[in-house]
Amino acid sequence: MNSRAGAARQAGTALLWAALLLAPYWLPWVGGYTALGARVLVLGLAAMSLNFLLGFTGVVSFGHAAYFGLGAYGAGLTLKLLAHSTPLALFFGTLAGGIAGALLGALIVHLRGVYFAMVTIAFGQVFYYIAFRWNSLTGGDDGLRGFARQPLHFAGYAIDILNNGHAFYYFVLVCFAVTVGVMALILRSPLGRTMLAIRENERRARFLGIPVERHIWVAFTLSCFFTSLAGALYAMVNNFADPMGLHWSLSGDLVIMAVMGGMRSFWGPLVGAAVFVVVQDFLSSITTNWMSFVGLLIVLVVLFFPRGLLGLAQRRGEA
């Protein structure tokens, strides 16, 4: 039975990667477009980054949009003010959100449950109001404009491929693949096993001598770095950053994506992000009340598929 389940998981993973690799070619056949695929990848990466903390460590954060938004503003400001370099923009965007997460995580790591969640919201809203009010730097409510993704430079040559929709999608896919590969390696390492032990029984982990606060801080910091990279990529997708990228409502959307796809599954948040983004894109094009239908979909998933959509598929595959 275990070998069958393992083979089914491997086949599912291979099918997922095939779908991602061929997305620019099959999306138009189902009414989609390449930019939508890039958006799914970016928000899927953000949801998987949150789930790195939520699903594999058992710590709930409702303020991860702060690090997503800091990554977006960091990348945008780098392109606008510092250097016309896409790699540097991604680097400084990731660094901005990751360092903020590391510093704030050190302050709140001793909190648990609803207290931890509420403090993360509070810090996230602080960053939101700073971006909203600091018009001279961030553009305020109008957002940060005046930057665009730049050509890649190799051996003294500028290769302008990122302004091509298909090429940019594959650039995002490479960044996504490298990041989720790092996530997978961490989760298979002793650190990842310790995170799972804390999730399952924090008291027992502490009794075994595991420094729980330190490991939660490391997991929180890594999650913030991954989320910030997703935010930096999102700024590249839109050539734009705005305060809503820091708002608590986006944090809620990321939690919904993780829950919808399946928190205990590595790929679940990506599946949840794909469903959420595609349904949102389709419904918003035909009705102004699209949020009601998205809300109904979320309620149905939580009521009837408590393990998430991917959890349901895995259970059927094991049956």
**What's the pLDDT score for residue 315?**
58
**What's the pLDDT score for residue 1?**
46
CA distances from 259 to 31, 267, 292 (A): 26, 12, 18
**What's the pLDDT score for residue 319?**
46
**What's the pLDDT score for residue 189?**
95
Percent of the chain with pLDDT over 70: 93
Percent of the chain with pLDDT over 90: 67
Question: How is residue 244 written in tokens?
Answer: 């809503």
In tens, the pLDDT along 207-242 reads 989 999 999 999 999 999 999 999 999 999 989 999
Dihedral of the alpha carbons of 7, 12, 16, 21, in degrees to the nearest 10: 40
Contacts (Cβ under 8 Å, ≥6 apart) of 291: none
Determine the straight-line distance between the first and last CA of the chain, rounded to whole angstroms: 9
Q: In a 3-state reduction of DSSP, which class is residue 247? A: coil
Contacts (Cβ under 8 Å, ≥6 apart) of 244: 250
Q: Which of 62-71, 144-153, 274-283 has the lowest mean pLDDT?
A: 144-153
**Per CATH, the architecture of 2-318 is what?**
Orthogonal Bundle (1.10)
Give the residue extent of every domain in the chain. 2-318
* Predicted model pTM: 0.92
- Range 125-132 average pLDDT: 94
Q: Which of 142-156, 232-246, 253-267, 304-318 has the lowest mean pLDDT?
A: 304-318
Q: In a 3-state reduction of DSSP, which class is residue 300? A: helix
Q: Which of 71-85, 141-155, 164-178, 251-265 has the lowest mean pLDDT?
A: 141-155
> Does position 264 have pLDDT exceeding 50, yes or no?
yes
**What's the pLDDT score for residue 312?**
67
- Range 193-214 average pLDDT: 92
